Amino acid sequence: MLGGGGCAKLLKKWALPTFFLPLGVAGVEATERLARIEAVVSPVLQAHGLFLVDLQWRCEGRRWVLRFFVDKAAGVGIADCQRFSHEAGDVLDASGLIQESYDLEVSSPGLTRELKTDREWRWAQGKRVRCWMSEPVNGRTEFTGRLAEVTESVVRLEGMDGEAELPRRGVTKARLEPNL
């Protein structure tokens, strides 16, 4: 367990902030750690009808933060997040998987949730989304509209300007765009 310096001491050891580290070994270790964490808490998620939208392990200030974004078909509420937080914390503590001191946070993905996985893209069909492109399509790099179709290769949006067919591999970021 790291002492009072928390993750700041670990960053000094590497001499570079984590966002400058090459993916290499550090990235592989982080990915493997997140996969092990997900495997350990998976039964808790399933027991409550929840699914994992995103999982983050980050150094923020002098503390490590383990952040779960969870959802379920009927939508997730505060009570769902509290219940999962307590049970996941107990399971993680018992597993001994995390040696560092950390804060555990559980949240819904929010109104402007990012679309990262195939499951998220399928879930968002029929909803209003915003997509950012790595290269212009018809002179534009940002599109907003109702997600009409998503395949391995294409994202099709229907918007006020008509229909836009975007190459999925060119979408750098996509998120829900609520009608407020």
Rounded average pLDDT per 10-residue block, the chain, 180 residues? 47 41 59 94 96 93 94 92 97 94 94 90 94 96 96 94 94 91
Distance, CA of 23 to CA of 19 (rounded, Å): 9
The pLDDT of residue 6: 58
pLDDT at position 13, please?
40
90 and 138, same domain (yes or no): no
User: Given 107, 138, 162, which residue is the final one in a domain?
Assistant: 107
What is the pLDDT, as a whole number, of residue 7?
Answer: 60
**Number of structural domains the chain divides into:** 2
Q: What is the reported pTM?
A: 0.73
Beta strands in 62-169 (DSSP E): 63-71, 102-107, 128-137, 140-150, 154-159, 162-167
For residue 15, give the amino acid letter: A
d(CA 170, CA 136): 9
Is there a contact between 155 and 131 (Cβ–Cβ < 8 Å)? yes
Does 82 lie in the same domain as 133? no
Confirm whether 72 is domain-assigned: yes
How far is residue 164's CA from residue 34's CA, in Å, rounded to a whole number?
A: 35
Res 161: pLDDT: 82
State how far the alpha carbon of 21 is from the alpha carbons of 9, 16, 33, 65, 173, in Å: 16, 7, 17, 19, 22
Residue 171 lies in a domain: yes
> Domain boundary at 107, 128, 154, which?
107
Residue 175 belongs to what H/E stretch? strand 171-176
Predicted pLDDT of residue 169: 96
In a domain, 1, yes or no: no
Per the domain annotation, does 126 fall within a domain?
yes
- Asked if residue 132 and residue 60 are part of one domain, the reply reads no
Domain boundary residue, one of 53, 86, 107: 107
Q: Is residue 112 part of a domain?
A: no
Residue 141 maps to which CATH number? 2.30.30.100
Could you tell me the CATH number of the domain that includes residue 47? 3.30.300.70
CA distances 59 to 56, 75, 91, 153, 173, Å, are 10, 29, 22, 35, 23
* Residues of the domain holding 134: 118-176
